[in-house]
Every structure is written in structure tokens, then in C-alpha cells.
Chains A and B, each alone.
Chain A
């Protein structure tokens, strides 16, 4: 069965410092990988995705993520965090053979950026 793990419930970082949110996955095939962000009492907003090609993916709001097949990871990064980046971040996976596009989500990581 496919699964996604986000090992940290919360990440605390000072504004201006680098931000990393970790994600590992377990699938039997080649996955499509996604990152979403959620602000309080709102829906999810798409940040970026890995489908194929370059392992470094750039997305919205200055975020990027690196696909590492050998470590089955897809960590989200931002070189300089902003207070407005404080939110709940979700990693998600779809098996390439799954044409329905059903997303399997991690439990989420709360990011807190302090001024």
C-alpha cells in the first residue's frame, strides 16, 4: 500500500532562515508527488509537483522541493522563510498507474515562522 510520512508535526524557524519540511513516501511504483499548503479554516493550495525530469522542482511563493528516488523523499524547502509562510503543509502522492488522481496525504506539518 502506498503511504506518505511527514516525520515532524511542527517545524519552528526564525524569519529569514532556511525552511525545510520533510516528506518520505512508500509506493510500489513510480509516484507523482505534490506539496500543498493550508491556512487556518481554508482549503488546500497547490505549491508544486514532481512528475518527471529534473529532480529539483520550483513552485509558488519561492518554494522548491527535491525528489530523491534512492531515499524516497520529497522535502520542501525555502531559502528564506517569511512570517506569512506560517501554515499547515501537506505532502501527497499519486501512483502513476492510478488514473483517478486520488491523492494520498501525509498527516501534515505545522510551520511556525517567528519574527
Chain B
């Protein structure tokens, strides 16, 4: 059953903690992305990766970090430097070509407590 899996679905973080969101895909896609969704603002790109061991900052990368050690995996770490981390986080993947649609995971809702 091919797809893209995010875990956990809900995550709670205390002030000053780092947390890592998991994203795994078995679609054999080259590119992977992390988006942040806030009400009324659409989706904003955090980081993206085209190939293993390479990734680029998106529009709102400050306070976040990523790694791409395997083609299938693209975890996102929300660091304590991210001042407003409460949001819905979406991972996506696509073939490298720009004319192909992206496939999205089910999302992780992160709440700071």
C-alpha cells in the first residue's frame, strides 16, 4: 500500500524543547517537502529536499531543521528557536519534475503546552 506516512498525529511540546516529526514515503519519489499550515494563511514551505543528503530552506525555515539520510525519510525537527511552533505540519513528496502533483501525508498537529 503506497503512500506517505506522518507520525505522530498529535504532538505536545513544552517550552524550550526540541521535537521531531516523522515523514516516510514508499512512493519512490525523489523530492520531499515540509509545509506549515496556519488558519487563514494557506500552506507555507519550511524545507525541501530533491535528493538524499541535500536539502534547501523554504520560505519559513528559521527555527526548524531537517535531514535526508534515506530517500524514503525526511524528518523535521522543531527547535526551541521556533517561537510560535503551534501549527499543523504537512509532509509531501513528488517526482522531481515540476509538472507532477505532490502527495501529502495526513499531517501532525503540534501544540506547545
Looking at chain B, what size class is its interface with the partner chain? 20 to 34
Distance in angstroms from B98 CB to nearest chain A CB is 4
CB of B32 to closest CB in A, whole Å: 10
Interface residues of A, CB < 8 Å — how many? 26
* B99 near A32: Cβ-Cβ < 8 Å: yes
From B92, B99, B101, B102, name the one whose CB has the most chain A CB atoms within 10 angstroms: B101
B interface residues, Cβ below 8 angstroms from A: 4, 6, 31, 33, 35, 40-45, 48, 50, 56, 58, 88, 90, 92, 94-107, 109
Supplied contacts A41-B88, A43-B90, A103-B92, 15 more A-B pairs, CB within 8 Å = A43-B4, A43-B6, A43-B104, A43-B105, A100-B31, A100-B98, A101-B98, A102-B33, A102-B45, A102-B48, A102-B58, A103-B43, A105-B44, A107-B41, A107-B42
